[in-house]
């Protein structure tokens, strides 16, 4: 049975496939970098995912937030760590971040409920 | 019977309650400040709500705009005052504000129709 | 039968008519400028529409992107030209632009399928 | 003897004159709207200047902040009213506004010291 | 004798060299993409430089504006074409773009005076 | 002998003192939160400083970047960790982040040279 996480991922995959099939070199390389940037390096994957989460949140990109929330969840980051990251985002980015915080919180709940 | 104003407020309340129940100190204090900042001081409440409205609009935060529109409506600000505020937002923030102006206008109509 | 393009245009027209009927001078003139700015001048209309598209995309305004995509389509710009413009937007604006790129790509497909 | 206010205004005037002499119709009309939007209407000039100030501050445009601070000063707005406006900007826009708050505060001091 | 264009380019080159010498793979590839994205493709170089200029201007990045202004100048774009691009940026991005327009205008003058 | 770090800190302290002396309650509490948010909690101080750095960088706030760079330096974070954080910021925020990356890199060098 479908849920918000699966719907988001299905749309994301479908459109990414179409865009990449188009063979625009710049876009393909950016997508590629996006994968590489979050692999372990001087910083571990968990820290990098929190960096991706806080940056997405202050830039108020709901889809980017969802993407990083799922990665955080899969990496085993706790709700407390995620909430502390979101609280820093709300302080730095201001109260205009709050609507995104609400949606992020709801998405995290869905991850906890559905991703086992 | 439910309408856009009630739906928005219900979701907002439900999620705010969950977030605040989590006891993240930074977030709780920001929520608290958000209430305090719009009480009367050197400036009256009406002026402050217009400040909140124009700031939310140039930052293109639809939910923040809705929130301040409802407060403006409850404070008895007129449509002309609200539209003048939104026109300044559109000039300062540019034509990318226009889609938000359309949604703001529609929400104000709903407030006038449903909030008696 | 209705589609995403028609729905977008219908809502846009309906709300623009209401807003303009209100006679706020600043808003009327900004709407007017918006029409004038994209007519041929030192630059031709095609180039100007691509400028509108790239600016809307880096500013992450989905409705503005849709509007300029339709104008690009009507002006006979090719998918390759539009994608190259969107790739520059994604590079300059960063990976937070990607969710808007997905929606832009989908809208272009709808334009190709439905606008004959 | 020159100070920060005079230097800012001299540069602003010199460049505005050059830009307007160029006769780009769109730019001329935007400059014109910028003057009209802040004249008295449904809202008085003081309120409009505070709207301009808060919008400029959350958008983190130092030169726009300076411009509106000087107008606020000339309109007789008090430091308390200006600071309350800036505090709302800092709350809505977040701690990234703070560097702009520091420069705004310094500019207001210069206005008080030099503009008699 | 040094001028604003040479100073900007010297600092830019010096820091780019240092950053690239550090061998951070993500940053190196982004710098690389930045060069590739503005070469001729479905769109010619002139059009792409105007796209870069308008995107940089609405995002209010003075250094990015300077960089694209110099490329526009070298590609033989006229002042009228550049100003039309900047007027679209000011309309889309709003009056907060004006301070950047002033600095762009001044930089174009320096390019005309010093770059022969 | 004065350097870029000392100058930045001196101006910052001087203006913060003046602003806080003014007793605007909202601003005082935001300054206070800014201190609390970066103390150890579910996340350690190092991670939080990197979160502050990446958020400041994608929001293109040079002064905020400087502030967090100094804290990172004092916490013993390595240049590699800082550069990896900045590379994620440049990818997420796009090439408009690059001018801020150059200034961040230069400031880190000054920290290494002058802060012993």
pLDDT band at C2 (very low <50, low <70, confident <90, very high): low
Q: What is the model's pLDDT at position C115?
A: 87
The stretch D99-108 carries a mean pLDDT of: 98
Mean pLDDT of chain C: 96
Comparing CA positions, the residue from A111, A10, A13, A114 lying closest to residue A70 is A111
E109: which chain D residues are within 8 Å (Cβ-Cβ)? 18
Q: Give the distance from residue A101's alpha carbon to the nearest chain B alpha carbon, in angstroms.
A: 9
C-chain residue closest to A12, CA distance: C102
The stretch F61-90 carries a mean pLDDT of: 98
Mean pLDDT of chain F: 96
CA distance F77 to F69: 9
Within an 8 Å CB–CB cutoff, is residue E25 touching chain A? yes
Q: How many CB pairs under 8 A join B and F?
A: 13
Comparing CA positions, the residue from B4, B3, B5, B27 lying closest to residue B17 is B27
E25: which chain A residues are within 8 Å (Cβ-Cβ)? 36
Within an 8 Å CB–CB cutoff, is residue B53 touching chain E? no
E59: which chain F residues are within 8 Å (Cβ-Cβ)? 96
Q: Give the distance from residue E115's alpha carbon to the nearest chain B alpha carbon, in angstroms.
A: 33
CB-based contact D55:B58 (threshold 8 Å): yes
Over 70: is that where the pLDDT of A1 sits?
no
What sign results for the dihedral spanned by CA atoms B27, B29, B32, B38? negative
- Say whether C64 and B95 touch across the interface (CB within 8 A): yes
Q: What is the model's pLDDT at position E115?
A: 86
CA distance C70 to C5: 8
Over 70: is that where the pLDDT of D2 sits?
no
ipTM (interface pTM): 0.96
Within an 8 Å CB–CB cutoff, is residue E4 touching chain F? no
Residue A42 DSSP one-character state: S
Contacts of C112 (CB under 8 A, 6+ apart): C73, C79
Mean pLDDT of chain A: 96
Q: What is the model's pLDDT at position A115?
A: 86
CA distance E82 to A24: 27
Over 60: is that where the pLDDT of D51 sits?
yes
E-chain residue closest to A39, CA distance: E26
Q: How does pLDDT run across A49-99, given as a tens digit for each residue?
A: 999 999 999 999 999 999 999 999 999 999 999 999 999 999 999 999 999
Residues of chain E with pLDDT under 50: none
Within an 8 Å CB–CB cutoff, is residue F76 touching chain A? no
Q: How does pLDDT run across A6-43, given as a tens digit for each residue?
A: 999 999 999 999 999 999 999 999 999 999 999 999 99
The stretch B13-40 carries a mean pLDDT of: 96
Q: What is the model's pLDDT at position F98?
A: 98
The stretch F3-25 carries a mean pLDDT of: 96
Over 80: is that where the pLDDT of F1 sits?
no
Residue whose entry in the numeric block shows the structure tokens 């400036």:
B43
Flag whether the pTM goes above 0.95.
Answer: yes
Q: What is the model's pLDDT at position F115?
A: 86
B-chain residue closest to A59, CA distance: B59
């Amino acid at each position: 049975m479908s849920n918000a996480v699966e719907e988001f991922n299905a749309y994301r995959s479908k459109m990414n496939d179409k865009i990449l099939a188009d063979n625009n070199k710049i876009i393909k390389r950016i997508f590629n970098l996006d994968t590489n940037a979050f692999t372990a390096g001087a910083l571990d994957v968990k820290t990098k995912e929190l960096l991706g989460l806080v940056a997405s949140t202050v830039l108020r990109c709901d889809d980017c937030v969802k993407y990083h929330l799922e990665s955080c969840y899969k990496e085993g980051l706790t709700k407390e760590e995620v909430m502390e990251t979101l609280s820093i985002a709300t302080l730095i980015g201001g109260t205009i971040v709050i609507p995104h915080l609400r949606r992020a919180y709801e998405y995290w709940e869905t991850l906890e409920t559905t991703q086992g």
